[in-house]
Structure 1
């Protein structure tokens, strides 16, 4: 029982770590709203009753999807440049501006270029947030709950996706931006409560500020107990030792050491599996997928149900990531998605040749299974594993490089996915996702290391 309380997110010692995680994830929640907004909106703006004064065809749709990846790429590069120079806190503040602008553009859209830029800014916010938020959380969280807190990034995104689905389904096009723009304002104000992380301050020769920060996140403002003093001193000595060993500036040689290359290989496969499994594309084009599957159920209702499933999936990973570890969740996730996509593809293939109206509910059930298992591992634990893979010296740069690579993949997959659906059909698209997931499973089974409990300041 004592171990349970020690690892509980509601433990008094870690209360401010949880508070900080909730505050910084307001922006990832908002990013999810921006993602979820697109899918039901696409069905609205392609009808004769479109709320817009311009038409949107298949080419515009593919660009609307892929601009998220392009914006994510620029967000990655911007934050990668600023992260060590300006600090985690500054980068976290920076995200409020572009996120507010995207809803202004959506409201004022007079041609499709406005929507392109809005999706670009949504991607910029996400790409920057996916980089700085997990690093920030990993530096303020105790190792016993670090996995659970970091996995809240994707839980927040999925909550936002569900809200985006609901808002854009049931509210008028021009009403949604008025509600969504509250988020960046609340995010900016709430972040006034949070200090910079102690490891960053120690790395930049600010020990007194680092001690104040450490006490804040340990909820010990009146003074540190002996255990906390020992923990802080261990952190300080570890960072001093690391800086003493790294007397030279970070060079390309640090990126090609054996541990670094193994970590990069794992991160590449992790990113490829995440994107080519199709899970992220499914989320963006969910209503279109249900239309293509032949399901007679209401596509927007199905999309909202899937939004709920995403939350349950990531919440499952939040519960188990620090209990059974990262690796087993990834294996369950990739194999489950592969099998689910194979069956989904087979159903849609035979539905074109035979009358399967008696089982028209099957696409929804299969997609629930696919999305749930995808969120348990590939999505829910993605950033936990990505941050923990790399040696401490190169963690910020290597994570930045990996997220840049991920953004390139996001751009490519979101651009190609609607074209694959349009020209090759739903069955081939699902089988391609299945093959990608299965290959990822095989790699993880053979090579993915377990990073549960890994120190963030020691290699």
Structure 2
């Protein structure tokens, strides 16, 4: 506990790092609202009282879910091209426009293609944000709080998902867009005050701007801090120049096939496969359908909101622990917990078809609470933090981009297949498939995942 307070996010030198993290995560919160909006809305638009003038069938529902993955892929590719050319700040600005269009499309929807486009843009915002926001935070944050600040990406997404659940459950379909469109406006305006990251500016030889950025994020702009700030900045400049000297040769195929690079790619592939095929992201998108299929006694939308709260508690737990116990312990605990929880959930629903378990129909909610909590302390909560830290400095931007592109393809596939698996396999076999994926991921991490706590972002 003493360690946590020593690294408090509110101490004088890091408060602007926290402020910057909060500002850039307005857009990830908004992305979460867009993701959470779908689950209760699917319940509404499949009833005779649908607020829409058109009907949606099972195939269209699976496309509605999976368009998120296609949008995410396009967002990844766009940011991968721009992040080193235009800078982190430009990429952050870029996300406001597509996000605003989501809610215009939802409000104006006259056929299902409007909703497809809205989900595509929601994915675009997420795919772009999941790539640029962790990199931005990792470059402005001190190493001793980098884990806590970066894990706030998923905390803000989960807060947004909860808000999306609540808004779309209790407000009329056409009211939600009026509230949600406030977010991109606030995000765009707040970003004006944030300077570009110092490491990026140094790599572009903008020395004065880099020093101003460094002093802003370390809150060292007063005369009293002049000597300390200059000394620390020179250390950063030396480290960046040293890294540039080592990486002076252009990036080549050989850089992607070194032993550290291949180990990073292997870990990122397993991390992405485990994240998607363990089902935890699909659960978030189709939570209402899962509770309906399990026979849970609690109202499906109420249960979905409860899960939204649990996700926030889980990610907050990871924020507190990630720089204390490390990344590896949280990932191992998370993947093991998801695997065991999904086995139990599948067993309950399987036995419920054979025996009368109506006295225990509260159990699906309890099991899903456990699954989502342990998923969010590791597999979800620190996914992007671990992903960024896996790779050597020279290939980090490219490798992270490639990994998130791969993840987006998996998002598309898993969200497209999940409602079909529920329909054709049933809830039990779907959950057992998720359990097997979670446990295989645990096994790989136990054998091969290395701890990256305290790893430098500018040195290998």
Q: TM-score, with normalisation over the residues of structure 1?
A: 0.99
Match of 2:38 in 1: 38
CA contact (8 A) 1:198 1:214 kept: yes
TM-superposed CA distance for 1:6, in Å, is 3.8
Q: Cα distance 1:371–1:2, how it changes in 2: closer, same or farther (>3 A)?
A: closer
Match of 1:422 in 2: 423
Q: How many residues align?
A: 459
What is the alpha-carbon distance in structure 2 between the residues aligned to residue 371 and residue 247 of structure 1? 44
Listed as ranges, the gaps of 5+ residues in structure 1 are none
Match of 2:345 in 1: 344
Q: Cα distance 1:168–1:241, how it changes in 2: closer, same or farther (>3 A)?
A: same
Match of 2:456 in 1: 455
TM-superposed CA distance for 1:248, in Å, is 1.8
Match of 2:106 in 1: 106
Question: Cα deviation per residue 1:101-128 (whole Å; 9 max; x = unaligned)?
Answer: 0100000000000000000000000000
Match of 2:165 in 1: 165
Match of 2:268 in 1: 267
What is the alpha-carbon distance in structure 2 between the residues aligned to residue 57 and residue 4 of structure 1? 50
How do 1:60-459 and structure 2 match up within 5 A? Answer: 60-223=60-223, 224-459=225-460
1:124 is paired with a residue of what secondary structure?
Answer: helix
Question: Cα deviation per residue 1:103-161 (whole Å; 9 max; x = unaligned)?
Answer: 00000000000000000000000000000000000000000100000000000000000
1:84 is paired with a residue of what secondary structure?
Answer: coil
Question: Cα deviation per residue 1:317-371 (whole Å; 9 max; x = unaligned)?
Answer: 0000000000000000000000000000000001011110000100000000000
TM-superposed CA distance for 1:247, in Å, is 2.1
TM-superposed CA distance for 1:5, in Å, is 4.4
RMSD of the alignment, in Å? 1.0
What is the alpha-carbon distance in structure 2 between the residues aligned to residue 142 and residue 292 of structure 1? 46
TM-superposed CA distance for 1:225, in Å, is 4.5
What is the alpha-carbon distance in structure 1 between the residues aligned to residue 155 and residue 426 of structure 2? 31
What is the alpha-carbon distance in structure 2 between the residues aligned to residue 246 and residue 4 of structure 1? 35
2:231 is paired with a residue of what secondary structure?
Answer: helix
Match of 2:53 in 1: 53
TM-superposed CA distance for 1:187, in Å, is 0.2
What is the alpha-carbon distance in structure 1 between the residues aligned to residue 436 and residue 213 of structure 2? 47
TM-superposed CA distance for 1:231, in Å, is 2.4
What is the alpha-carbon distance in structure 1 between the residues aligned to residue 392 and residue 228 of structure 2? 26
Q: Cα distance 1:4–1:55, how it changes in 2: closer, same or farther (>3 A)?
A: closer
TM-superposed CA distance for 1:222, in Å, is 2.0
CA contact (8 A) 1:5 1:11 kept: no
What is the alpha-carbon distance in structure 2 between the residues aligned to residue 420 and residue 360 of structure 1? 22
Question: Cα deviation per residue 1:236-276 (whole Å; 9 max; x = unaligned)?
Answer: 11111121122221112111111000001000101001111
How do 1:11-26 and structure 2 match up within 5 A? Answer: 11-26=11-26
What is the alpha-carbon distance in structure 2 between the residues aligned to residue 401 and residue 58 of structure 1? 32
TM-superposed CA distance for 1:19, in Å, is 0.1
TM-superposed CA distance for 1:228, in Å, is 3.4
Listed as ranges, the gaps of 5+ residues in structure 2 are none
What is the alpha-carbon distance in structure 1 between the residues aligned to residue 231 and residue 387 of structure 2? 28
What is the alpha-carbon distance in structure 2 between the residues aligned to residue 4 and residue 451 of structure 1? 18
TM-superposed CA distance for 1:3, in Å, is 5.3
Structure 2 residue 9 is matched with structure 1 residue 9: yes
CA contact (8 A) 2:4 2:324 kept: no
What is the alpha-carbon distance in structure 1 between the residues aligned to residue 174 and residue 360 of structure 2? 38
CA contact (8 A) 1:36 1:284 kept: yes
What is the alpha-carbon distance in structure 2 between the residues aligned to residue 392 and residue 440 of structure 1? 25
TM-superposed CA distance for 1:227, in Å, is 3.9
What is the alpha-carbon distance in structure 2 between the residues aligned to residue 51 and residue 372 of structure 1? 33
What is the alpha-carbon distance in structure 2 between the residues aligned to residue 196 and residue 49 of structure 1? 49
1:47 is paired with a residue of what secondary structure?
Answer: coil
CA contact (8 A) 1:386 1:399 kept: yes
TM-superposed CA distance for 1:4, in Å, is 4.6
Q: Which runs of 4+ in 1 moved over 4 A?
A: 1-5
Question: Cα deviation per residue 1:430-458 (whole Å; 9 max; x = unaligned)?
Answer: 00000000000000000001000000000
